[in-house]
Amino acid sequence: MEIKAHAKLNLTLDVLGKRPDGYHDLRMVMQSIELADTLTLTRNDTGELRVGTNLHFLPNNERNLAAQAALRWWERENTVPCGLDINIEKHIPVCAGMGGGSSDAAAVLRALNQMEDRHLDLDILAEIGALVGSDVPYCVMGGTALAEGRGEVLTPLPPLPKCWVVLCKPEFSISTPALFAKIDSVRLRCRPDAKGAVAALEAGDLAGVARRMYNVFEDALPDRQRNRVADLKNTLIQCGALGASMSGTGPTAFGLFDSEDRAMEAREKLEDFGGEVFLTRTV
């Protein structure tokens, strides 16, 4: 079975506080985009779970979230794992704040649900996904949603009006646990207006959403990296983006456009900065 695993963007991301279990309470408006990995799941008769990807540095064992999802699925179903090959063709930048690994895990859950003819509800799949990672439940659902709690408390939102997205993943990567650890001691310059963003979604107001995009993790980045993300955002705005922000714990910067021509121009400009640049659309 072949299945797509779409990347996500955080239109807003706020950290509300640290919890006794070591995680942080979050409030995030999430959006799926067309940029996606392609997963192929094939039963094999070796009894083994094998993972392969086109990127040699990614784990091909149980450290891969896709494999963890399959193991959690079998645990929940109380079945002995059959032999399975999971092949992942990566297109989503890795360690980018775009939920690539989480989305692969979510795709495995959805694929096994069909292959094994189980038809579990999406909220059960999301529950299994929460055992794999905080972003997996959202990736199971996809679309436009408010994610709260650790990221697993989901409220579907009206879809973001269709638009073009230009994004750039600079060549450096960010450690998610390290940035979460740092955010506790950082004085935040401002907080995103998630309520306003939700109201703008309800009104179908793309510019209103874009204007309110903000991610508190930008304040926790080391100076050089923060400046780099700021440069990318400024370039996007200069090219006509309705708004620009960073996704997840970064370092990917993205902008929303209501004009394909302007989006194409922005892609060209960002290509001069290096890194991985994409022009895509919202799902």
Chain residues binding ligand C5P by CB under 6 A are 23-24, 26, 133-135, 150-151, 176-177, 180
Q: Which is nearer to ligand C5P, 60 or 176 (CB)?
A: 176
Characterise 183 by phi-psi region: left (phi > 0), alpha (psi -120 to 50), beta (else).
alpha
For residue 279, the one-letter residue type is L
Q: What is the DSSP string of 60-91?
A: -STTSHHHHHHHHHHHHHT-PPPEEEEEEE--
Q: Which residues are known catalytic residues?
A: 8, 135
Distance CA 116, CA 119 (A): 8
CB of 150 to ligand C5P, least distance (A): 4
In the bound state, the residue with its beta carbon closest to ligand C5P is 134
CB of 47 to ligand C5P, least distance (A): 28
Structure tokens at 60: 């091909």
Q: Which is nearer to ligand C5P, 26 or 140 (CB)?
A: 26
CB of 216 to ligand C5P, least distance (A): 13
Q: Which is nearer to ligand C5P, 71 or 264 (CB)?
A: 71
Structure tokens at 132: 């794999």
Q: Which is nearer to ligand C5P, 17 or 119 (CB)?
A: 17
Q: Which is nearer to ligand C5P, 23 or 273 (CB)?
A: 23
CB of 206 to ligand C5P, least distance (A): 28
Q: Which is nearer to ligand C5P, 17 or 224 (CB)?
A: 17
Phi, psi of 195 (to 5 degrees): -60, -45
- Asked whether the beta carbons of 166 and 236 are under 8 A apart, the reply is yes
CB of 89 to ligand C5P, least distance (A): 22
Angle at 121 between CA 118 and CA 204, to 5 degrees: 140
- Asked whether the beta carbons of 147 and 198 are under 8 A apart, the reply is no
- Token pair 């004085």 is found at 187
Distance CA 95, CA 130 (A): 19
**Is the bond leading into 251 cis (omega within 30 degrees of zero)?**
yes
Residue 144 neighbours by CB under 8 Å, 6+ apart: 29, 30, 31, 32, 156, 157, 158, 159, 160, 201
CB of 267 to ligand C5P, least distance (A): 29
Phi, psi of 234 (to 5 degrees): -60, -40
